[in-house]
Structure 1
Amino acid sequence: MPERGVEVLSRALIGCDVRAALAIAVVLLSDAGIEGASVDARRLLVHVLGARPLDLISAPDRTLTTSEAKSYANALLRRQSCEPVSRIIGVRGFFGRDFIITPATLDPRPETETLIETALAWVDANGGREREINILDIGTGSGVILVTLLAELPNANGVGIDLSAQALAVAQMNATLHGVDGHARWIEGRTFGEETGPFDLVVSNPPYIPSADIARLDADVRLYDPALALDGGADGLLIYREIATGIAATMPSGAVIVEVGAGQAPDVAYLLQSAWSKGGCSEARLVRDLGGIERCVAIATLF
């Protein structure tokens, strides 16, 4: 980011009160075509001031210091360049908890909460949330899926696997942050490997964007999410095939729940159903997110 731009904007913000700083920020972001400019301006100012959202309302005459003005200018110019707010502040809310994210991790989406809800529904129907359960999270990234499930299931243990050592370090931090580090292990790898099983529940939000489509993604995804977490091979189904092979070879029973991209659910359901054709296995369920898109495929020996 050009230092000149930060310097000019910070000079305009120095000595501004909260009300005036927000007004400048909203105009800047709106002119850049940022949707939700007012919300983003407030979230960034709360972060810079180390305040609570209510403080912006209760103390609108509080003035920005020179340091705060420069930090706010830097954050606003990053957002103007389409960098997501969660990337700028280093935190993303997910399923009622805050998680650390870094450039090494995917920025979790609200749609992924559909996977959590589906997994918890399976647990509720098969012994309840107090049961002991072993979970494998493939492509764990920042660990939001595994850490959330471990936080919701007090007697669960889990393994998170990812190709990125940097992402696994973030996952460990999130496990510690939410008090489940004693229930989680992290392994650098691809899908099924040296990890100890068997597992009762396999979950995954793998890379599923076809390689040729990545260049056409929105800037906030294309420029800021790691390619490793996006690229699903030529047809977007590469990792699902590996998951199907792995569960067929190593998983005698339980449930497999994966997130999928728009339009991929039937193909992924076929892959999993064909590979895991054990007695008593359910038909694959296609679960829609709040936007009505088939977002998860779930298959289980009991559901």
Structure 2
Amino acid sequence: MDPLSVTASAIAIAALAAQSCKQTYSLISGITDAPQSITHSQNLLIQTEDSLVALEQLVTNNKTSAILESTLRAISLERTLKSTRDICSDFSAAVANITKHSTDTKFSFRDRISVHLREGKINGFNQQLSDCRRTLVLVLGSINLILSSRTSEDIERLREEFQAQETALWDLNTQLRNQLSLPVPDTETKIEQNSDLSLTLQDLCKETLAATEAKRTGQRFGDMLIEDRSMAMQGIVGNRQEGVEQTFGKLTATKESRAFQGQMSSEAFAAMFGGRSST
């Protein structure tokens, strides 16, 4: 398999989902004096499209990253992107059907009644799209965090950000799971669709949480060359930081070198680098 195929596929599907959001928004934004539920749909579509575009740009800008590719392989992002696209397409078809008597300048009384009668379906769409958007926002945040953590040196800040992200993913997963126990006022098909979407989003939350935990912190260092009476260091000094992934380049010291890579206590560091022998 092409090592970039997962990344390329994510870019393509995110673009299609964003386009579906845009088309749906264009359709319903033309409804004059739209009811509150439709106005809410418009806002959700804008927000979801923005999230999808941001995700597409992030993946595109890092499409050669092995870290990104491995992260995308670990999560079922495509299923959620396709679900988002399909939800918008289905909603577009439904809205086109119930507003067929209206024009760009007038929302017909007959269609207004139709929308009112289908208020539950519109609210259901809003809930589904909101769940997709919230999940995508957290996935986007996790991918950003995983990518930025490879070169960050602020371990404590990074740890706090990862913990906050993991908590948010866990909370959303719990909310999605609890929604399955709520009554759904519609057909069995509707219940099955809601259940399928909720399970898809739960899977993505759990997989993203696992990927985030696995990549919690990391440091990447390049080569270091210090000669003559050199001293050197690369890594963390102080309290031991659990779960930190460190990658080092070549470290050359020579002669009176004292080198260090990895993690070291403050006491050991002081003993190693605190004094320099004279010659």
User: TM-score, with normalisation over the residues of structure 1?
Assistant: 0.20
Greater share of helix: 2
RCO greater where, 1 or 2, for CA within 8 Å and sep 6 or more?
2
User: TM-score, with normalisation over the residues of structure 2?
Assistant: 0.22
Greater share of strand: 1
Larger radius of gyration: 2
